[in-house]
């Protein structure tokens, strides 16, 4: 029992470290974020970090991958519900664009990894694998939608899913903090769905 309480405390603290790491790594980059600052911001001392993560790099990996998995899981769950492909995709786009502000940091972290593949080769691979799971699923749903006449059959599903992921990342990258207050925000969101080339009557 006592064991469990300790276990919980440890997990709780680990989570706090990870949260703060995500914020700081995203804001300032890997090298410019010090383990001491992460520690200070959550009210522990510098040594404590290393009781939970053996190295700074390990912490970074966790800060990149763990939130990514959470996000993926949520999105994949949405795509496996019992609705028409077009509806599934529309929901996914809505969901991802509406909540984009709540995981800006996580996205930015992923992007910073992709931007430095040579420096983080292993991590990059894991990120790409994770993205691949996502695009594969979208591809699959999209193909089904095409066969049902919901999407323009002239486009390759592989390309479409790639396009969407690229667009999503590009939007998050080029628009800033206040991304959702951009005057064209609503139109941009609609255009994300337009990318899938929905056949008219089913879009409405």
The residues of the shown chain that bind its own copies, judged by CB under 8 A, are 26-32, 108, 111-112, 114-119, 128, 131, 155-156, 158-160, 162-163, 165-171, 173-177, 182-184, 187-188, 191, 194-195, 197
CB-wise, 13 or 162, nearer to DNA?
A: 13
Nearer to its own copies, 80 or 187 (CB): 187
Which residue reads 């594969």 in tokens?
Answer: 136
Q: Residue 11 binds which one of its own copies, DNA, none, with CB within 5 to 8 A depending on kind? A: none
How far out from the chain centre does Cα 5 lie?
Answer: 31
Which of 51/98 has CB closer to DNA? 51
b (16+ CB within 10 A) / e for 95-126: ebbeebeebbbbbbbbbbbeeeeeebeebbeb
90 binds, among DNA, its own copies, none (CB under 5 to 8 A by kind): none
Residues 6+ apart with CB under 8 A from 195: 160, 163, 164, 167
Identity of the residue, 84 or 195, whose beta carbon is nearer to its own copies in the bound complex: 195
90 near DNA, judged by CB under 7 A: no
Identify which range of 54-62, 91-99, 128-136, 152-160 contacts DNA by CB under 7 A.
54-62
Report the partner that residue 117 touches, choosing among its own copies, DNA, none (CB closer than 5 to 8 A by kind): its own copies
- Interface residue with DNA among 19, 29, 41, 44 (CB under 7 A) is 44
Q: Which of 27, 54, 182, 191 binds DNA (CB under 7 A)?
A: 54
| By the rule CB under 7 A, 45 interacts with DNA | yes
By the rule CB under 7 A, 55 interacts with DNA: yes
In whole angstroms, the minimum distance from the beta carbon of 114 to DNA comes to 21
Closer Cβ to DNA, 29 or 91, answer by number: 29
């Amino acid at each position: 029992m006592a064991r469990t309480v300790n276990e919980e405390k440890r997990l709780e603290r680990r989570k706090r470290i990870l949260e703060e790491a995500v914020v700081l790594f995203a804001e300032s980059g890997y090298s410019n974020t010090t383990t001491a600052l992460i520690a200070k911001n959550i009210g522990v001392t510098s040594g404590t970090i290393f009781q939970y993560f053996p190295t700074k790099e390990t912490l970074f990996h966790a800060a990149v991958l763990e939130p990514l998995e959470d996000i993926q899981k949520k999105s994949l769950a949405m795509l496996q519900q019992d609705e028409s492909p077009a509806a599934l995709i529309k929901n996914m786009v809505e969901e991802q664009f509406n909540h984009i502000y709540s995981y800006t940091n996580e996205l930015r972290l992923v992007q910073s990894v992709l931007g430095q593949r040579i420096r983080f080769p292993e991590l990059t691979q894991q990120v790409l694998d994770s993205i691949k799971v996502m695009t594969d699923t979208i591809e699959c749903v999209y193909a089904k939608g095409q066969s049902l006449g919901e999407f323009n059959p002239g486009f390759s599903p592989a390309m479409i899913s790639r396009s969407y992921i690229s667009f999503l990342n590009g939007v998050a990258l080029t628009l800033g903090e206040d991304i959702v207050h951009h005057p064209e925000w609503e139109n941009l969101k609609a255009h994300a769905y337009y990318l899938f080339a929905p056949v008219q009557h089913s879009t409405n």
